[in-house]
Each structure stands twice: as structure tokens, then as C-alpha cells.
């Protein structure tokens, strides 16, 4: 088989209008496929590898060694489900971000528009960044006078903004109380 070297270039357009990112990629292949197909396969493989890295990061999963097919399938299912959840949060968040960007573009005063756009650009999150921000928000389990409480810590402004963008209502401070096996929601 003949070894071929392919060079392709990519340009990334950041959403906030900052500098373009130019990249050069060198691919070594022994296939006879057309260069465009090889590059497309390579990009697809890169996307799949990036997705699995994100999945593992999202779940804080290190190497997992399963010894039967049922456990392997279950592990992959949970990973893919977590990845889809992260991607859906990103889609919902960015739709809201785009609506806010349209409102900012409609501002007539140039200084005000630039200030609002700069503030909005600071809130451009990937799915991974959304998860990272939400992880800072905690639920604390406590027992007081024989009653069990699950209390939510105060959400940061970033977390409140993300949760609102996702269309999720903020929970009450005390989520539940358990007394002799009875569970109820408290406000």
C-alpha cells in the first residue's frame, strides 16, 4: 500500500467575534479513498473522540474495566445519555443567548450596545462550561431535631442566569423534609 500525506486547513469562527483560529492538519493515510473522504473521516473521528472525552469529563469517569457485554453496554449508554444531556443544555442555553444577542443588536445607542454586547459575550458557555458552573451549586443533607432536610445552597448569579436560560425554575431553599419515613416539600 502506498502511504499518502494530506494537508488540510481549518478556520474556527469564535461566536464572540474575536480573532479567527487557523489550524493546519497533516494526515498520513494508506487508503486509496479520495482526499476529501479521508479528511471528512478524520474530522468525524476527531468529533467522536472529543465527544467521549467530554462524556468522561462530564461524569468524572476514569478508566472503567467491565468484564461482560451487559455492563459495557450499560456504561456506554450512561455515557452517551450524559453527553446528550450536556448537548441539550448547550442548545437550550445558546438559543436564549441568541435571543438576547438580537435584543442587544437592536439597541440604538452605540455605547450602550457595545457595553451590553461585551457583557453578553462574557456569558457564552459551552455545554461543558454550563456543567462546570452548575457543579458549584450544592444540595446539603442535614438533620435537625430528628428531621432530615435537603437544603440548596445559594446560587451564584451565573448559575441563576444559566438555570433561567434553560427554562428551569429555581428550587425552594429546602427541597424536602423527612420525619418518620414521610417525605414532603417545603417552601
pTM score over 0.75: no
Query: In this predicted model, what pLDDT tens digit does every residue of 72-111 receive, in sequence order?
Result: 788 778 878 888 888 889 899 999 999 999 999 999 999 9
Q: Cα–Cα distance between 59 and 97 in angstroms, integer?
A: 25
- 62: phi then psi, degrees, rounded to nearest 5: -90, -165
* 8-state DSSP, 159: H
Q: Cα–Cα distance between 54 and 43 in angstroms, integer?
A: 16
Query: Which of the four pLDDT bands, split at 50, 70 and 90, describes residue 187?
Result: low
Q: Cα–Cα distance between 79 and 18 in angstroms, integer?
A: 33
Amino acid at each position: 500500500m502506498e502511504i499518502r500525506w494530506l494537508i488540510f486547513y481549518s478556520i474556527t469562527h469564535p461566536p464572540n467575534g474575536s480573532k479567527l483560529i487557523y489550524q493546519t492538519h497533516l494526515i498520513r493515510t494508506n487508503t486509496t479513498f479520495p482526499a476529501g473522504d479521508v479528511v471528512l473521516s478524520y474530522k468525524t473521528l476527531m468529533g467522536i473522540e472529543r465527544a467521549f472525552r467530554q462524556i468522561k469529563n462530564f461524569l468524572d469517569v476514569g478508566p472503567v474495566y467491565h468484564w461482560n457485554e451487559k455492563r459495557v453496554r450499560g456504561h456506554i449508554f450512561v455515557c452517551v445519555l450524559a453527553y446528550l444531556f450536556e448537548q441539550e443544555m448547550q442548545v437550550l442555553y445558546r438559543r436564549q443567548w441568541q435571543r438576547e444577542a438580537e435584543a442587544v443588536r437592536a439597541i440604538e445607542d452605540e455605547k450602550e450596545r457595545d457595553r451590553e454586547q461585551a457583557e453578553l459575550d462574557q456569558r457564552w458557555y459551552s455545554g461543558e462550561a454550563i456543567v462546570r458552573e452548575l457543579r458549584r451549586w450544592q444540595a446539603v443533607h442535614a438533620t435537625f431535631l430528628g428531621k432530615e432536610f435537603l437544603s440548596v445552597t445559594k446560587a451564584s448569579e451565573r448559575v441563576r442566569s444559566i438555570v433561567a436560560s434553560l427554562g428551569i425554575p429555581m428550587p425552594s431553599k429546602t427541597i424536602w423534609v423527612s420525619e418518620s419515613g414521610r417525605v414532603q416539600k417545603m417552601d
